[in-house]
Amino acid sequence: MEIATLLNLGCFVLCFLFSQNGTASGNSQLPVATKVWWTSINFKTILEWEPKPSGYAYTVEFFGKKTDVQKSPRCIKIQTTECDLTSFLLNLTDSYTAHVISEPIETVDKTEEYPYTRSDKFTPYKDTKIGQPTFKIEENEAKNKIKLLIEAPLSSIRGPNNTFLSIQEIFKKDLEYVSYYRKASSTGKKEAKSKTNEIDVPVDRGESYCFNVHIVIPSRTDENQQSQESATHCSHSEKPFYEEYGIGVLVGLILAPVLLLVAIITCVCCCRRKKNANKEANSPDGVPLKGV
Ligand SMILES: *[C@@H]1O[C@H](CO)[C@@H](O)[C@H](O)[C@H]1NC(C)=O
Ligand SMILES: *[C@@H]1O[C@H](CO)[C@@H](O)[C@H](O)[C@H]1NC(C)=O
């Protein structure tokens, strides 16, 4: 009886597998990527998609308006869900489309068209995210001007001498640097801009200022114009600490540990008192203590 059931089951599984095989050769049955997207920063560009394949593989094919259909040798019949196309998208102003093709793992018939999912268009020059710039602060001798010396991040694109080009070398005149800055003692922000990698900011002598910097590409659409923001750097002030931040901050710094101690002591006392109160409350009805 049980053996018969097993045999039936085995037969059923076999039939199921055969029927799957049968339909697989008509490849409309292969699952396709449900979602395909580009992630790109400083011209390092990766095509990603979902889901992880099971029983089939993906091949990526891409082309631009001025770029013929190509494949990356690293992205043929892969079982992963990403493909680094950085070294192929070399016409930065071309507009690329990729196809994520679902293929059977073993090649059956090369003439067959396999199903695929198409990506959105991607133009490196317009679409890659720009990373954080870095910068240094230089004060002039009169202490009434600060110069920001900015360095754009490196891109993943190699120049003629095989070194990586910086973002500035790629965008050239299409790029500007913007700094938002404020006096350390206030919250009012100001803006200063430059087409070169140096920004001069007039300052009040003796005050400390805080700066951050980003790159802007005005020719791009609004949501894509600004780079990631740099870290914030502040200039040193010559005023004594308490004058800059006010007596309040200083007093606060001294008082804080004292207040903390008072709070802890109060808390401990309260807890003790509560415990005692609980004991007193429990003992008169005394059920859990005396009842046993
Ligand atoms: C790069 O692509 C742009 C836009 O499609 C095209 O105008 C330009 O001629 C291409 N450059 C080269 C060198 O193919
Ligand atoms: C390589 O090229 C870059 C940009 O074109 C340039 O800034 C750099 O000085 C060059 N380096 C060498 C070693 O020639």
Whole-number pLDDT of residue 286: 43
| Tokens (6 digits) for 173 | 């005149």
Q: Span 132-151, mean pLDDT?
A: 94
Q: Is it the case that residue 243 has pLDDT exceeding 60?
A: no
User: Which three-class secondary structure state does DSSP give residue 1?
Assistant: coil
Whole-number pLDDT of residue 201: 95
Domain limits, the chain: 24-127, 134-240, 246-281
Q: Is it the case that residue 24 has pLDDT exceeding 90?
A: no
Pick the closest to residue 123 from 90, 157, 156 (CA basis). Answer: 90
| Tokens (6 digits) for 290 | 């005396």
Report residue 267's pLDDT band, with 50, 70 and 90 as the boundaries: confident
Report in angstroms the alpha-carbon separations of 288 from 273, 279, 281, 291.
Answer: 21, 12, 12, 6
Report in angstroms the alpha-carbon separations of 126 from 166, 219, 221, 227.
Answer: 16, 8, 8, 12
Sorted by sequence, the CB contacts under 8 Å of residue 229 that are 6+ apart come out as: 132, 212, 213, 214
Q: Is it the case that residue 206 has pLDDT exceeding 80?
A: yes
Whole-number pLDDT of residue 15: 38
Domains 24-127 and 134-240 share a fold: yes
**How many A from CA of 93 to the centre of ligand 2?**
22
Phi-psi region of 43 (alpha: psi -120 to 50; beta: other; left: phi over 0): left
Which DSSP string corresponds to 117-182?
EEPPPB-HHHHSBP---EEEEEE-TTSSEEEEEEEPPEEEEE-TTSSEEEHHHHHGGG-EEEEEEE
Answer yes or no: is the C-beta of 169 below 6 A from any ligand 2 atom. yes
**How many A from CA of 123 to the centre of ligand 1?**
11
As a whole number of angstroms, the distance between CA 284 and CA 292 comes to: 15
Sorted by sequence, the CB contacts under 8 Å of residue 37 that are 6+ apart come out as: 47, 48, 49, 119, 120
Q: What is the CATH number of domain 134-240?
A: 2.60.40.10
Residue identifier of the C-alpha nearest atom 4 of ligand 1: 94
Ligand in nearest proximity to the CA of 67: 1
Architecture in CATH for domain 24-127:
Sandwich (2.60)
Residue identifier of the C-alpha nearest atom 5 of ligand 1: 94
**How many A from CA of 154 to the centre of ligand 2?**
13
Residue identifier of the C-alpha nearest atom 14 of ligand 2: 161
Which tens digit of pLDDT belongs to each residue from 47-106? 999 999 999 999 999 999 999 999 999 999 999 999 999 999 999 999 999 999 999 988
Given the CA of residue 169, which atom of ligand 2 is nearest to it? 4
Instruction: Identify the DSSP state of 207.
Output: -
Phi, psi of 26 (to 5 degrees): -90, 95
| Tokens (6 digits) for 274 | 């509560």
To the nearest 10°, report the CA torsion of 118, 119, 121, 123.
-130
Ligand in nearest proximity to the CA of 170: 2
User: Ligand 1, from 66, 92, 126: best to mutate by most atoms within 8 Å of Cβ?
Assistant: 66
Q: Is it the case that residue 9 has pLDDT exceeding 80?
A: no
Residues with CB under 6 A from ligand 1: 65-66, 91, 93-94
Given the CA of residue 67, which atom of ligand 1 is nearest to it? 14
Which tens digit of pLDDT belongs to each residue from 33-55? 999 999 999 999 999 999 999 99
Phi, psi of 128 (to 5 degrees): -65, 140
Whole-number pLDDT of residue 227: 97
Ligand in nearest proximity to the CA of 166: 2
Whole-number pLDDT of residue 277: 61
